[in-house]
Structure 1
Amino acid sequence: MNYDIPFNKPFLTGKEVHYISDAVQTGKISGNGKYTKKCQDFFKNTYGFGKCMLTTSCTDALEMAAILINIQPGDEVIMPSYTFVSTANAFVLRGAKIVFIDSQNNHPGMDADLIEDAITGKTKAIVPVHYAGVACNMDKIMALANAYNLFVVEDAAQAIDSYYTFPDGTKKALGTIGHLATFSFHETKNIISGEGGMLVVNDPQFMDRAEIIWEKGTNRSSFFRGEVDKYGWVDVGSSFLPSEIISAFLWAQLENLETIQTKRIQIWQTYYEGLKDWAAQNNISMPHIPTYATNNGHMFYLVFKNTTKRAKAIEKLKSHGILSVFHYLSLHESPFYKNKHDGRQLPLTNHYSNCLLRLPMYYELSVADTNKIIKLLNEVQL
């Protein structure tokens, strides 16, 4: 079915093809060239990230993180169940046991108050997922990591241009707080390159090795900097870095970051103001932004009381050519992992799986289209 208003529409700034053409004409399109460096420098200078390394996906960045913290069979990794499969898969591939944490009652993100009880002598890492670009309680998570000598890998796939405010008032970009962080530039994200991602290395102990893993397990980058007289296979690794074509596309997006963010946040605010009264009358939960978090306009969602009510809203929009979608299915109840899960009930995770609905959100969503969606939802009797 073709929709008059799709759920997502990739935004093109108009410079993508120009920069891709320029990359091709330089004669180097295999990666780690001009545009890779421009993008990495942008992120480092704009947000204060540590070492930035573009990857072909956020999944790749997560897999690099699992290698870097030396996940071994039997290690335990704590993360939310309400997340995309890549968050878990990266660590499962190294033999880890995943210990899933339930969501918060006012936000789909992981409940930091439940983490400490899940820590055992086998715990190696905590992987907070900043759902909808809204920060987890990083002050509490980092305190636990320091107390129990654990690594923190921020899954910031949706969290570009989002921040966390610590109790002392210090404000830091998400992705700068954990030992490692990962980002996505998939076509559904705020800033895109079709597929694409980035690993951020904030802990200096991982910086040299990260580059080797990124370069297929070789010290090739050191060779090209003149630090060694030849390069060879020195560690495990894979082909994680993207081509210059992907990086060139991404650079066109980064040049327009502020414009894109301003528009998305405007759309988010329009939804919020237009739906808040209807939501209150029908006992529907709206997105919650904690005082320590910011809103990057990545996603607008509604949480209904049950699946039946959500289905009514979906059908109302669909009948008018508008696509709305639900999101993650609980990983602890997935066909692959349900028999490996420790049996704990995670009721809030299941609630979000059954009741959360995402509304269309993309740069070119017009005021008229946004108002049409708001009007139709206000007509839904629940």
Structure 2
Amino acid sequence: MIPFNKPYMTGKELWYIAQAHAKGHLAGDGGFTKQCHHWLEKTIGCQKALLTHSCTAGLEMAALLADLEPGDEVIMPSFTFVSTANAFVLRGAVPVFVDIRPDTLNLDERLIEAAITPRTRAIVPVHYAGVSCEMDAILEIARRHNLLVIEDAAQGLGSSYRRRPLGSMGELAALSFHETKNVIAGEGGALLVNVSRLAERAEIIREKGTNRSQFFRGQVDKYTWVDVGSSYLPGEIVAAFLVAQFEEVDAINRRRLLMWDVYHQALSSYEAEGLLRRPIVPGHCQHNAHMYYILLPDLARRTAVINSLKAQGVQSVFHYIPLHSAPAGKRYARTHGELPVTNNTSDRLLRLPLWVGMEEQQRDVLRALRVALEAKD
């Protein structure tokens, strides 16, 4: 079986973990964590980067920093992972789901303004598949209505919009280093802060609501509980693993882009025949080849292709089940409009295996996909 995903190791992870062990500092915010913070701040250009134990934790910190009150509204797509909404629901806020664009499958910026009410406090663009949302338009809408922009860049490390790295444009952003992402730490994430007024409080929230970070910098003579917060730090073993990954990020993304291009070229004829639709990446967006998906004509066809691939030893997956159709989505959120693109995309999208090290197996995937696509129902 060719798996959908296989975590990639650079070869240095265990060496760095052994160093963390030898230093005897295994809790968070040690030397390897500081290396990760520096790398993210330099690479993305954010004012402050803070490692978290997941992207979910980064989004939860962003929701705390937004000072949301019960009943406040946050605009986001329904076509996203549950963490995007859950982080704000935990604060009593109401996700307002807006439809996605038919080309990039990102939040449709043309529908945002009509969804804004007096209770709206933030916009959460999700950069699906590592392809940027139309950030200039989103940032301008947010400016006019005095709203925060919180980028869900879980899939976006190494991608950019008009040469600006994803995660550098909103007031806040969150990254994921889950084992399904390009750069991994097993579990892990980061909060990126792009405005100085939120940086100090972000440190406090991450450290259980204490000013511990200021104490270790010598800014206060003792630390104490000063704000709400929780324990969002990963341990040094996770950070040590991540340092090894950061050192190879360019090489990892290059290899993924080459495989993405192989899929894209090989499937062009099937798109011309109307058997599928390939991903669309606008010319002003540089993506990181986080995933390669196809859109099949309908749900029945997608189910048949998944089953055929499985029978041939290839694992493929779909996502997402739209949040507005989920039990919790109906309970805690509201929908702006009918979301026809979201519903249609959810029925048709299929993700193909894409992981560093499967280059030789990619031909087998394409061969199996050809059999599946040419099969008569």
Alpha carbons 2:104, 2:131 under 8 Å: kept: no
- The equivalent residue for 2:62 is 65
Match of 1:372 among 343, 353, 364: 364
- The equivalent residue for 1:324 is 316
Structure 1: state its 5+ residue gaps. Answer: 166-170
Alpha carbons 2:97, 2:336 under 8 Å: kept: no
Please tell me whether residue 222 in structure 1 is matched to residue 219 in structure 2. no
- The equivalent residue for 2:341 is 348
Query: What are the superposed Cα offsets for residues 127-154 of structure 1, whole Å, 9 maximum, x if unpaired?
Result: 0000000000000000000000000000
Structure-2 separation of matches of 1:251 and 1:186:
14
Measured after TM superposition, the shift of residue 343 of structure 1 is 6.9
Please tell me whether residue 120 in structure 1 is matched to residue 117 in structure 2. yes
- The equivalent residue for 1:85 is 82
- The equivalent residue for 2:180 is 188
Structure-1 separation of matches of 2:335 and 2:142:
22
- The equivalent residue for 2:255 is 263
Structure-2 separation of matches of 1:39 and 1:337:
35
Alpha carbons 1:82, 1:103 under 8 Å: kept: yes
Structure-2 separation of matches of 1:342 and 1:147:
22
- The equivalent residue for 1:109 is 106
Query: What are the superposed Cα offsets for residues 245-283 of structure 1, whole Å, 9 maximum, x if unpaired?
Result: 000000110111111011000110000011111122134
Structure 2: state its 5+ residue gaps. Answer: none
Measured after TM superposition, the shift of residue 311 of structure 1 is 1.4
Structure-1 separation of matches of 2:148 and 2:311:
48
Query: What are the superposed Cα offsets for residues 207-252 of structure 1, whole Å, 9 maximum, x if unpaired?
Result: 0100000111000010011100111000000000100000000011
- The equivalent residue for 1:275 is 267
Match of 2:27 among 25, 30, 35: 30
Query: What are the superposed Cα offsets for residues 54-84 of structure 1, whole Å, 9 maximum, x if unpaired?
Result: 0000000000000001011010000000000
What secondary structure, in the 3-state scheme, does the structure 2 residue paired with 1:181 have? strand
Measured after TM superposition, the shift of residue 342 of structure 1 is 4.2
Structure-1 separation of matches of 2:164 and 2:348:
32
Structure-2 separation of matches of 1:343 and 1:363:
39
- The equivalent residue for 2:242 is 250
Alpha carbons 1:307, 1:354 under 8 Å: kept: yes
AA aligned to 1:319 is A
Structure-1 separation of matches of 2:307 and 2:271:
17
Structure-1 separation of matches of 2:335 and 2:195:
32
Structure-2 separation of matches of 1:240 and 1:92:
18
| TM-score when normalising by structure 1 | 0.96
| TM-score when normalising by structure 2 | 0.97
1:151–1:22 distance in 2 versus 1, CA, 3 Å: same
Match of 2:153 among 153, 156, 159: 156
1:296–1:343 distance in 2 versus 1, CA, 3 Å: closer
AA aligned to 1:66 is A
Alpha carbons 2:115, 2:336 under 8 Å: kept: no
Structure-1 separation of matches of 2:330 and 2:343:
13
- The equivalent residue for 2:295 is 303
What secondary structure, in the 3-state scheme, does the structure 1 residue paired with 2:105 have? coil
Alpha carbons 1:16, 1:249 under 8 Å: kept: yes
Alpha carbons 1:275, 1:378 under 8 Å: kept: no
Please tell me whether residue 294 in structure 1 is matched to residue 286 in structure 2. yes
What secondary structure, in the 3-state scheme, does the structure 2 residue paired with 1:207 have? helix
Please tell me whether residue 8 in structure 1 is matched to residue 5 in structure 2. yes
Corresponding pairs, count? 373
What secondary structure, in the 3-state scheme, does the structure 2 residue paired with 1:336 have? helix
- The equivalent residue for 1:43 is 40
Please tell me whether residue 232 in structure 1 is matched to residue 229 in structure 2. no
- The equivalent residue for 1:142 is 139
User: What's the Cα RMSD here?
Assistant: 1.1
- The equivalent residue for 1:362 is 355
Measured after TM superposition, the shift of residue 184 of structure 1 is 0.1
AA aligned to 1:256 is E
Structure-2 separation of matches of 1:289 and 1:361:
17
AA aligned to 1:289 is V
- The equivalent residue for 1:201 is 193
Structure-2 separation of matches of 1:110 and 1:224:
41
Between the aligned residues of both structures, percent identity stands at 50
What secondary structure, in the 3-state scheme, does the structure 2 residue paired with 1:108 have? coil
